[in-house]
């Protein structure tokens, strides 16, 4: 017999199914409803998981697992999001301030190679065109940075990128940018709350199958992509040292290679040896357990290719090409290759940017370097060395890109903003070009990237970082750890004394509120604790500064051991 609670969730599922245009997700619900009505407890629990709450729209837009229900990514949810975003753009067009004519507000839409990305993009285009907006869709699946570029290049009011970046294969997402006074950055408060309210209004009052649709949207021509290629090639045209460079590239089954290949040819770099199994877009990501170059094993095929090719370095993009990973040959590393950390890459690129700005007599007096507060403090040392301003922001390029006077920004999670005049978001393609420029300059002097890393340490200090990432099945476990640390801040982490404890829940100085704890320790060490914004993880970021590379490495290892012991103590309570 069906209980009242079961009847309620079944009614929600039937109502959702009635407006769902997708045969696959309708069939999912039909099967779950039939099983639940037959007394299958597992199906009942699944329905409650899918309908007990709604996938929240926030400053990261939407991101989640594909499937039927309000707590999944699907055509109903995306259609509601498109209608809500369209209503926001119409209402806020004057405040956004994009466009030069009196025509309808413009929204540009891009999509990557994940499952349903093209479908979600088309639904969004039809619905927003049906609302009277001008809608331009990028000509094919393309990297996220091309969409971010297009928002500014086309002087659009808003942009949508359908992607889940490096998330698991069965996820997808909906990332929103604003043009005009927002300069093509991702949304921040209060825009996120206003858009979320419009989406909820649509969900509460309108059926998706009753939303007006129009095929009056436009397909962007190749000039948009060509403009991105030209602008990115100018980041670091190849010098004499690029000749003969042998390197390996993997697109991680994503959409980066086609665009990057055009930029390399334009900028004059030799073509890489490709990881052929991972070059073509494939939303199944068949050769990796997790399509994120940070994850163990994700770059194994690239290392295998590099060993066979006798390569000098490996470069990887994540599936939507907004992140960059780099690896160098290292006889001491397992397999003979060592992946650089995001902080190491970020500091090298920041050093490059600082030198260029310092040498420019026309530079802005308030030119600045910026990074997320969890990234290496080494960037501030670079900024001070060259007389530049420095800004630490909350995590995410929605904040980094808005740093006053920014000429370069990064975050340790393999994100780099090297060309803020054209793309106000992390861009793994332009970062790859900038990195190749550093490599080429070093080769012209008879040096390697390893030599450049050593020079950085000798110039700015020996910084070392580590990260502890705890993946959970139950998000409440993260809340419990954060609450325990707030209730009883530790006096020591390992043998290192905690000198200052900061809770950023209500903001701090120039930093807006965030679910972040920052612990300043003796001897210049630092630990930052925060939940991941995109995955079910608790993250701890550890930073030290030592008297040598060996000293810094030993200190960060001891700090990591102390942090793990602290987490174990909290879990045991």
Catalytic residues: 165
The DSSP result for 224-286, as a single string, is HHHHHHHHHHTTS---GGGTT--EEEE-TTSSHHHHHHHHHHHHTPPPPEE-GGGTS--TT-T
Calculate the dihedral angle through the C-alpha atoms of 464, 556, 497, 370, rounding to the nearest 10 degrees: 30
The phi and psi torsions of 194 (rounded to 5 degrees) equal -65, -40
Separation between Cα atoms, residue 204 and residue 197, nearest integer Å: 10
CB contact at 8 A, 256 and 317 = yes
d(CA 478, CA 472): 8
Paired strand residues for 371: 392, 410
Is-contact 10 33, C-beta < 8 A?
yes
CA–CA gap between residue 499 and residue 518 (Å, rounded): 11
Residue 97, SS3? coil
Separation between Cα atoms, residue 349 and residue 293, nearest integer Å? 19
CA dist., res. 392 & res. 374, Å (int): 9
Cβ neighbours of residue 31 closer than 8 Å, sequence gap 6 or more: 43
């Amino acid at each position: 017999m069906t209980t009242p609670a079961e009847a309620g969730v079944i009614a929600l599922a039937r109502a959702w199914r009635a407006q769902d245009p997708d045969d696959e997700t309708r069939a999912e619900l039909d099967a779950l409803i039939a099983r639940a009505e037959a007394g299958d407890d597992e199906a009942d629990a699944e329905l409650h998981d899918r309908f007990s709450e709604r996938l929240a729209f926030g400053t990261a837009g939407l991101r989640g697992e594909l499937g039927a229900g309000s707590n999944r990514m699907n055509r109903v949810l995306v259609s509601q999001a498109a209608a809500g975003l369209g209503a926001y753009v119409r209402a806020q067009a004057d405040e956004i301030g994009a466009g030069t004519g009196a025509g309808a507000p413009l929204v540009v839409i891009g999509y990557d190679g994940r499952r349903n990305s093209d479908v979600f993009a088309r639904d969004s285009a039809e619905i927003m065109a049906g609302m009277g907006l001008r809608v331009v869709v990028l000509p094919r699946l393309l990297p996220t940075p091309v969409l971010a570029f297009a928002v500014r290049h086309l002087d659009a009011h808003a942009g949508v990128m359908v992607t889940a970046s490096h998330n698991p294969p069965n996820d997808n997402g909906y990332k929103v940018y604003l043009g005009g006074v927002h300069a093509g950055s991702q949304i921040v408060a209060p825009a996120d709350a206003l858009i979320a309210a419009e989406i909820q209004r649509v969900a509460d009052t309108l059926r998706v199958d009753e939303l007006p649709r129009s095929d009056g949207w436009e397909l962007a021509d190749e000039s948009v992509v060509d403009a991105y290629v030209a602008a990115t090639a100018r980041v670091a045209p190849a010098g004499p040292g690029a000749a003969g460079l042998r390197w390996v590239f993997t697109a991680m089954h994503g959409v980066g290679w086609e665009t990057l290949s055009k930029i390399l040819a334009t900028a004059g770099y030799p073509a890489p040896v490709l990881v052929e199994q991972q070059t073509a877009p494939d939303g199944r990501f068949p050769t990796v357990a997790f399509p994120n170059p940070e994850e163990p094993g994700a770059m194994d095929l690239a290392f295998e290719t590099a060993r066979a090719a006798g390569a000098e370095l490996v470069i990887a993009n994540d599936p939507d090409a907004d992140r960059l990973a780099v690896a160098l040959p290292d006889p001491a590393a397992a397999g003979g290759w060592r992946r650089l950390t995001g902080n190491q890459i970020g500091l090298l690129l920041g050093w490059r940017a600082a030198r260029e700005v310092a040498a420019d007599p026309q530079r802005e007096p308030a030119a600045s370097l910026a990074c997320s507060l969890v990234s290496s403090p080494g960037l501030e040392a670079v900024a001070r060395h060259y007389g530049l301003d420095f800004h630490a922001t909350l995590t995410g390029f929605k904040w980094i890109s808005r740093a006053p006077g920014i000429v370069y920004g990064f975050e340790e999670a393999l994100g780099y903003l090297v060309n803020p005049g054209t793309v106000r978001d992390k861009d793994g393609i332009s970062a790859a070009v900038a990195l190749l420029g550093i490599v080429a300059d070093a080769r012209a002097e008879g040096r390697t990237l390893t030599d450049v890393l050593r020079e950085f340490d000798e110039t700015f200090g020996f910084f070392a970082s580590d990260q502890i990432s705890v993946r959970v099945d139950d998000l409440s476990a993260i809340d419990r750890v954060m609450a325990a640390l707030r209730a009883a801040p530790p006096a020591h982490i390992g043998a290192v004394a905690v000198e200052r404890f900061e809770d950023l829940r209500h903001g701090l100085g120039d930093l807006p509120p965030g679910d972040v704890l920052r612990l300043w320790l003796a001897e210049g060490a630092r630990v930052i604790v925060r939940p991941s914004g995109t995955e079910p993880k608790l993250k701890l970021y550890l930073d030290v500064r030592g008297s040598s590379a060996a000293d810094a490495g030993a200190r960060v290892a001891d700090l990591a051991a102390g942090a793990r012991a602290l987490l174990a103590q909290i879990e045991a309570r």
